[in-house]
Structure 1
Amino acid sequence: MSDNTKYTEDNIRSLDWKEHIRMRPGMYIGKLGDGSSADDGIYILLKEVLDNCIDEFVMGAGKTIEIGIRDNVVKVRDYGRGIPLGKVVDVVSKMNTGGKYDSKAFKKSVGLNGVGTKAVNALSNFFKVESSREGQSKWAEFSQGNLVAEEGPVESSKRKGTKVSFTPDEAIFKNYKYRNEYVIRMLKNYVYLNPGLTIVFNGEKYFSENGLKDLLEENNNADDLLYPIIHLKGDDIEIAITHSKSQYSEEYQSFVNGQHTTQGGTHQAAFREAIVKTIRDFYGKNYEASDIRKSIISAVSIKVMEPVFESQTKTKLGSTDMGGKYPTVRTYINDFVGKYLDNYLHKNTDTADALQRKIIQAERERKDLSGIRKLAKDRAKKASLHNKKLRDCRVHLGDLKKDRRLESTLFITEGDSASGSITKSRDVNTQAVFSLRGKPLNSYGMSKKIVYENEEFNLLQAALNIEESMEDLRYNNIVIATDADVDGMHIRLLLITFFLQFFPELIKENHLYILQTPLFRVRNKKQTFYCYSPEEKADAMEKLSGKPEITRFKGLGEISPDEFQHFIGADIRLEPVMLDKSMSIEQLLSFYMGKNTPDRQKFIIENLKVELDIVEEN
């Protein structure tokens, strides 16, 4: 037997808690990322610390949480009971240590496994925890999970509570930055789910009086809502429902014990089922489920005793037991919706009439489209066009390989050269490529028929698998990869118009991105730097003394497949496409894509920025 195949005691290595977290961070915080996506690791670190503060609020201790993020230093201060001073070090550095194992103290808490703050500690190059209570305080400072210094308990006049400060470790989170938009959305969800709680972020206050009703109002323009939001609350449940005038697809936001379950779960499935059953019973008609739920905008929040999630990041509820006096999550939600939504519709006849008109309209549109859908599918099958457009990957969002499915990406490219470079340098397991032929159609103002009649739109919809529901989406990231010239920008705009018009929740749920590619390559014989801005180029030139060679990239086709793998691999840079909540989607599209050319021209002239393209000497 060779030395390579020996298996002895020497091969067995026991990792301590922090080594294991640092070696396998995905087990604790999901994917790493650089902050361009709302579910990237740096936001999970913040959430893990915040969850402890929220649990204090839920227990009636402390109504305000203060958060600051500056220069990637995160500070979170609550005014709860404060960690018992003798346990300040243990709570953030010893596994299976925490107050939530005592179910009397935390009956319906979020952070049940005692891992959260330990993971933050291990994955930060600076981590400090300070607790104040009963006129005393104690602090401890760590680096990468190792205790660096501690002081206390000492006499103190500070208000009781806990303060945690940390800086995510750049060795693990590469080129990261916190985007305030994602942080604010997370904090707003916390206040919607906890009326009476005030969160102060970088000096700005966030507070909610009406819970999930505020959430729907915040995320949607009032002009686009078909009827006033239905808002119902029970002991351990809260729901908010309306329908959109313009949106085609279904939209759900679901929460368990204050945790945003972005991937749904048993409670969201029960909620969807309960809405259909209740509405069928109310009208006494066996409407199609898809017609009832078409264009719905809704939110559901429940509180469960000891919930079981399908991953450490708690994005999907797996448990069926409600806990307490209720039998199952499904029964509880069905009973609540069946009683209270039915009552509401009986009392509010205008809403009931508007809802029924919407269902009948959806039914009519579905029947009108049925023939076109069949023709489009037959045409795609006969021509085998699907294979020509899409170079697929092996792992998709719905697959059970939990460790990699969130990485699944579809690049939408234009032109043979760019498509060829990405196709040759991609990871065939997780990265797919969809090739456009020239500029897509401007779909603004068109009906859903165009999605089936236009070859490219039909095939793109089929590639994404979102015709019936967002739940079937095959890729977590949809990345528009076009040149940064006028034509490339126009293609981006046309694609974003298509998604806004027919699948806006792809953007609302942070699935759509723009691929950032380098503007310059700076190199000498020993080192090469790819630079995404003039500032990065200047830094690279400083590092490479002498006269380095500088190349200015004008288009994706100029970048060889060997080089392209650097820009779509571990160091990929993505810019998220986000919605401006001050405008409805209809207003947004009519201004940028409609026929109001003079207004748009005036806007462009007033906001024009001129950048000089400096030609470098090699």
Structure 2
Amino acid sequence: MPRKMVSEYGNDSISALKGADRVRKRPGVIFGSDGLEGCQHSMFEILSNSIDEAREGFGDKIIITRYQDHSIEVEDFGRGIPVDFNQREGRYNWELVFCELYAGGKYSTNEGESYEYSLGLNGLGLCATQYAAEYMDVEIYRDGMKYSLRFERGENVDGLVKEEVRRKATGTKIRWRPDLQVFTDINISKEYFQDVLKRQAVVNDGIRFILRNQTDEGFEEEEFLYENGIVDYANEIAGSEYLTPVQFWKAERKGRDRADKPEYKVKLSLAFCFSNRVKQTEYYHNSSYLEHGGSPEKAVKLAFVYMIDSFIKNAGKYQKNESKITFQDVEDCLVLVSSSFSTQTSYENQTKKAITNKFIYEAMNEFLRHQLEVYFIENPDDAAKIAEQVLINKRSRENAEKTRLNLKKKLAGTLDMSNRVQKFVDCRTKDVGRREIYIVEGDSALGSCKLGRDSEFQAIIPVRGKILNCLKAEYDKIFKNDIITDIIKVLGCGVEVTSKANKELSSFDLDGLRWNKVVICTDADVDGFQIRTLILTMLYRLTPTLIEQGYVYIAESPLYEITTKDKTYFAYTESEKADALEKIGSGKYTIQRSKGLGENEPDMMWLTTMNPQTRRLIKVTPSQAQATSEMFDLLLGDNLAGRKEFIAENGYQYLELADIS
């Protein structure tokens, strides 16, 4: 049989993307993503060019407009992009700037010709965003002229249009719409613009950023301006209640990343204070927010830990054999904003979320160590406060870790827990996909459920009495409640602790869950409702993922048993009772409220509550659980006035169920 022919892989098989396709077919290479994040980055590339102009002293205002059709406009009042004919290159500058990926005004090495500290460094941004746009309209004012350009999906339309104008103000206005053929999502939220512009205002003091957001009613305007940059911002974060006042340090250095690499300049500035109420650390380089930090963050961590640790040692504040502090202990009380600039920058990638310059790290580390040493000598009271708070953080962290490990040990267990959890009755199968745990009300219900269940896959744990109203208490008090810890042990998945103060107690692991269904089974009366509410609230507070993933159910108990000579009907609602009576017609019957679970015969228990073919299980949704939790707070919490109001408005619904003789 002849071999199947395959296409030849030869010299003509290699092809290169050309023109706009270099971006349009591989946006992730340039922008880091072909999704919304990449689209956001393309917008920032245009904005960064305007910021560079303003920071060089050309214009102090930038207007950003977010249109409802997802187009964006950035207008600055700088010198205006040069777009006319370039004699040296033999081409129009607009072709170089908008259609060449590595061209721009930031590569020049001649003094006075280049941006010294540039955010848009590599010449990719403007061209790449143009290539990735459905359209781009450009207006440039300079030299007494207005220059207009239009691009559609990477192609220029009608060349460069020039006209004389009387307008004295120079500047550049670019409006474009990111292309849905390039990005999967182009709906950049207003919140993203607000966040970016606030950050840029922080690190570019004195530059006014105006956000215009188009709505059905017109344009909303919002302004971002920090006259004193990172100092104003650090004070804003810290508020009025700080441990130490904001310090502002700055310096300039020259150096190189390696002996054979060129020398470059670095400007360092840092504003920080210590607080026992808030914590926040942010790093910026050449105006770009370093989400992943890099060199400046590494320098801050090492310098602050080294100098504070040295002070604590010299002051004799460590206890005998006590471990040294970590940056986590420092960071937990630190408000710090770092803004650096350099004439050469090594970014981790085009998205500029971290820098890797060795010299920037070295310069900043040395600078901070020196400044902190002087600060501690000149401000001994501040130094003592800082040391004391950092030690408090360290010891709290270590105690919390010890508590977490003890709790994890306490809540852990093997499948054979009969001797460890009082009155827990396990099932035989080890197949987690089949196992069901019934959380039942009291010992009497335990008896009837135990006899009525299918012991192959149904297990039971009784709630002895009521879960105390400790779910509003601190976590360490909650876990002293035996009922709660027994249930958590039996579930096997640990707990989720959401509060920042106690997050170390969190030990949740869904893979540890031993059950396919967690069924809450209580009587259909007021007491049963209250116990159900408490159990649900406990699960909502301590293991919300079980509810979100659909593991938690309520076993619905019938309200009425209607018995005839031949058949017993179970009615779970008033309307079902009416339907049953209609079916019976004029025949004889007896009707009674359904007995409590503990009074049911085993076969009745199986039929109404445990048989997968006949039982009714209600899957608990997150919204139901939240409403239950809020009801728990209302009925059992501190809001006495709200509780009285609820009872006054709704109490009549429960009179029939109340035990009033």
Give 1:228's aligned residue.
Answer: 245
Residue 196 (str. 1) matches residue 194 (str. 2): no
**Percent of aligned pairs with the same amino acid:** 24
Residue 11 (str. 1) matches residue 4 (str. 2): no
Code of the aligned partner of 1:230: Q
Q: Return the offset for 1:381.
A: 8.2
Give 2:306's aligned residue.
Answer: 277
Code of the aligned partner of 1:319: N
In the superposition, relative to structure 1, how do residues 370 and 184 fare at CA in structure 2: closer, same or farther (>3 Å)?
closer
CA distance in 1, matches of 2:76, 2:378: 42
Unaligned residue ranges in structure 2 (runs of 5+): 85-92, 213-220, 253-266, 319-323, 416-432, 435-468, 506-532, 550-617, 622-632, 647-661
Code of the aligned partner of 2:298: A
Higher RCO by CA contacts (8 Å cutoff, separation 6 or greater): 1
Residue 253 (str. 1) matches residue 251 (str. 2): no
Give 2:273's aligned residue.
Answer: 242
Residue 296 (str. 1) matches residue 298 (str. 2): no
Give 1:115's aligned residue.
Answer: 124
The DSSP-based 3-state class of the residue aligned with 2:157 is strand
The DSSP-based 3-state class of the residue aligned with 2:59 is coil
Range 209-218 or range 10-19, more displaced: 209-218
Range 66-75 or range 97-106, more displaced: 97-106
Residue 161 (str. 1) matches residue 158 (str. 2): no
- Report if the CA contact (8 A) 1:108-1:304 is conserved: yes
The DSSP-based 3-state class of the residue aligned with 1:101 is coil
In the superposition, relative to structure 1, how do residues 66 and 367 fare at CA in structure 2: closer, same or farther (>3 Å)?
closer
Code of the aligned partner of 1:95: L
In the superposition, relative to structure 1, how do residues 15 and 188 fare at CA in structure 2: closer, same or farther (>3 Å)?
same
Q: Return the offset for 1:239.
A: 1.5
In the superposition, relative to structure 1, how do residues 252 and 348 fare at CA in structure 2: closer, same or farther (>3 Å)?
same
In the superposition, relative to structure 1, how do residues 460 and 446 fare at CA in structure 2: closer, same or farther (>3 Å)?
closer
Give 2:226's aligned residue.
Answer: 208
Q: Return the offset for 1:47.
A: 0.8
Give 1:80's aligned residue.
Answer: 78
Code of the aligned partner of 1:8: G
- Report if the CA contact (8 A) 2:206-2:229 is conserved: no
Code of the aligned partner of 1:88: W
Give 1:483's aligned residue.
Answer: none
CA distance in 1, matches of 2:243, 2:331: 13
In the superposition, relative to structure 1, how do residues 6 and 195 fare at CA in structure 2: closer, same or farther (>3 Å)?
same
What's the TM-score once normalised by structure 2's chain length? 0.56
- Report if the CA contact (8 A) 2:245-2:274 is conserved: no
The DSSP-based 3-state class of the residue aligned with 2:118 is coil
In the superposition, relative to structure 1, how do residues 221 and 15 fare at CA in structure 2: closer, same or farther (>3 Å)?
same
Give 2:553's aligned residue.
Answer: none
CA distance in 1, matches of 2:297, 2:337: 9
- Report if the CA contact (8 A) 1:75-1:165 is conserved: yes
Give 1:90's aligned residue.
Answer: 96
Q: Return the offset for 1:96.
A: 1.5
- Report if the CA contact (8 A) 2:496-2:544 is conserved: no
Give 1:476's aligned residue.
Answer: none
In the superposition, relative to structure 1, how do residues 281 and 177 fare at CA in structure 2: closer, same or farther (>3 Å)?
same
Q: Return the offset for 1:78.
A: 0.9
Question: Deviation per CA, 1:331-368, whole angstroms, max 9, x where unpaired?
Answer: 21122212223333444444333322212212321342
CA distance in 1, matches of 2:136, 2:272: 42
- Report if the CA contact (8 A) 2:231-2:271 is conserved: yes
In the superposition, relative to structure 1, how do residues 76 and 444 fare at CA in structure 2: closer, same or farther (>3 Å)?
farther
CA distance in 2, matches of 1:368, 1:374: 10
The DSSP-based 3-state class of the residue aligned with 1:106 is coil
- Report if the CA contact (8 A) 1:200-1:206 is conserved: yes
CA distance in 1, matches of 2:285, 2:294: 10
The DSSP-based 3-state class of the residue aligned with 2:139 is strand
CA distance in 2, matches of 1:62, 1:45: 23
In the superposition, relative to structure 1, how do residues 10 and 292 fare at CA in structure 2: closer, same or farther (>3 Å)?
same
In the superposition, relative to structure 1, how do residues 300 and 151 fare at CA in structure 2: closer, same or farther (>3 Å)?
same
- Report if the CA contact (8 A) 2:140-2:170 is conserved: yes
Residue 353 (str. 1) matches residue 391 (str. 2): no
- Report if the CA contact (8 A) 1:310-1:316 is conserved: yes
CA distance in 1, matches of 2:228, 2:643: 41
Give 1:375's aligned residue.
Answer: 406
- Report if the CA contact (8 A) 2:75-2:174 is conserved: yes
The DSSP-based 3-state class of the residue aligned with 2:20 is helix
Q: Return the offset for 1:70.
A: 1.4
Question: Deviation per CA, 1:272-319, whole angstroms, max 9, x where unpaired?
Answer: 111111222334267412433333332212112311111110111122
CA distance in 1, matches of 2:543, 2:71: 34
Give 2:369's aligned residue.
Answer: 338
Residue 100 (str. 1) matches residue 106 (str. 2): yes
The DSSP-based 3-state class of the residue aligned with 2:149 is strand
In the superposition, relative to structure 1, how do residues 492 and 63 fare at CA in structure 2: closer, same or farther (>3 Å)?
farther
In the superposition, relative to structure 1, how do residues 312 and 457 fare at CA in structure 2: closer, same or farther (>3 Å)?
farther
In the superposition, relative to structure 1, how do residues 251 and 65 fare at CA in structure 2: closer, same or farther (>3 Å)?
same
Q: Return the offset for 1:495.
A: 8.9
Give 1:54's aligned residue.
Answer: 51
CA distance in 2, matches of 1:161, 1:337: 39
Structure with larger Rg: 2
Q: Return the offset for 1:261.
A: 0.8
CA distance in 1, matches of 2:105, 2:389: 49
Question: Deviation per CA, 1:67-86, whole angstroms, max 9, x where unpaired?
Answer: 11111121101111111122
- Report if the CA contact (8 A) 2:63-2:76 is conserved: yes
Q: Return the offset for 1:49.
A: 0.4
In the superposition, relative to structure 1, how do residues 162 and 150 fare at CA in structure 2: closer, same or farther (>3 Å)?
same
CA distance in 1, matches of 2:405, 2:337: 33
The DSSP-based 3-state class of the residue aligned with 1:303 is strand
CA distance in 2, matches of 1:224, 1:448: 29
What's the TM-score once normalised by structure 1's chain length? 0.60
- Report if the CA contact (8 A) 1:138-1:150 is conserved: no
RMSD value, Cα:
4.2
CA distance in 2, matches of 1:233, 1:146: 46
In the superposition, relative to structure 1, how do residues 316 and 95 fare at CA in structure 2: closer, same or farther (>3 Å)?
same
Give 1:70's aligned residue.
Answer: 67
Code of the aligned partner of 2:56: M
Q: Return the offset for 1:171.
A: 2.8
Code of the aligned partner of 1:241: F
- Report if the CA contact (8 A) 2:495-2:542 is conserved: no
- Report if the CA contact (8 A) 2:238-2:335 is conserved: no
In the superposition, relative to structure 1, how do residues 11 and 341 fare at CA in structure 2: closer, same or farther (>3 Å)?
same
- Report if the CA contact (8 A) 1:278-1:337 is conserved: no
CA distance in 1, matches of 2:543, 2:126: 38
In the superposition, relative to structure 1, how do residues 9 and 238 fare at CA in structure 2: closer, same or farther (>3 Å)?
same
Code of the aligned partner of 1:233: K
CA distance in 2, matches of 1:44, 1:140: 23
